[in-house]
């Protein structure tokens, strides 16, 4: 997968909004007010729940790594993956997981309505 394909995948997800909070790179995608993907020319950093992040790092050691640029408190919840380092199918699965994770967190944080 190349950068353009990853950008198209992320942009096509429900409620996804492109953002540039850190300058031209990374190109970030938010859903539910949270960043789920940070796309660079040769890699992507994706949000994960802690268990899946650890699982993918164990399955793909040296390829899937902790979010290299994240503060220590956030690093366990982000994985950085080279765009050419894994199969497209796996990158799609990881991106969908990232999107679903932030939507779940947004719903969980939303105030509950009383009847």
Residue 32 and residue 65: Cα distance in Å, rounded?
A: 25
Range 70-96 average pLDDT? 86
Please write the tens of the pLDDT for every residue from 10-51: 999 999 999 998 888 999 999 988 999 999 999 999 999 889
- For 26, the domain range is 3-85
Range 49-68 average pLDDT? 90
Question: Greater confidence, 82 or 75?
Answer: 82
**Omega before 26 cis (within 30°)?**
yes
The CATH number linked to 55 is 3.90.1150.30
Residue-averaged pLDDT of the chain? 88
Residue 96, domain member (yes or no): no
Residue 114, domain member (yes or no): no
The pTM (predicted TM-score) of the whole model is 0.88
Number of domains in the chain: 1
Residue 79 and residue 37: Cα distance in Å, rounded?
A: 10
The 10 Å Cβ neighbour count of residue 6 is 24
């Amino acid at each position: 997968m190349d950068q353009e394909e990853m950008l198209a995948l992320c942009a096509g997800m429900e409620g996804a909004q492109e953002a540039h909070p850190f300058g031209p790179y990374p190109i970030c995608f938010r859903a539910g007010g949270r960043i789920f993907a940070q796309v660079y020319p040769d890699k992507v950093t994706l949000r994960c729940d802690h268990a899946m992040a650890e699982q993918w790092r164990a399955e793909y050691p040296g390829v899937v790594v902790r979010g290299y640029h994240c503060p220590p408190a956030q690093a366990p919840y982000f994985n950085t993956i080279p765009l050419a380092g894994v199969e497209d199918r796996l990158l799609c699965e990881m991106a969908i997981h990232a999107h679903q994770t932030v939507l779940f967190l947004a719903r969980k944080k939303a105030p509950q309505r009383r009847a």
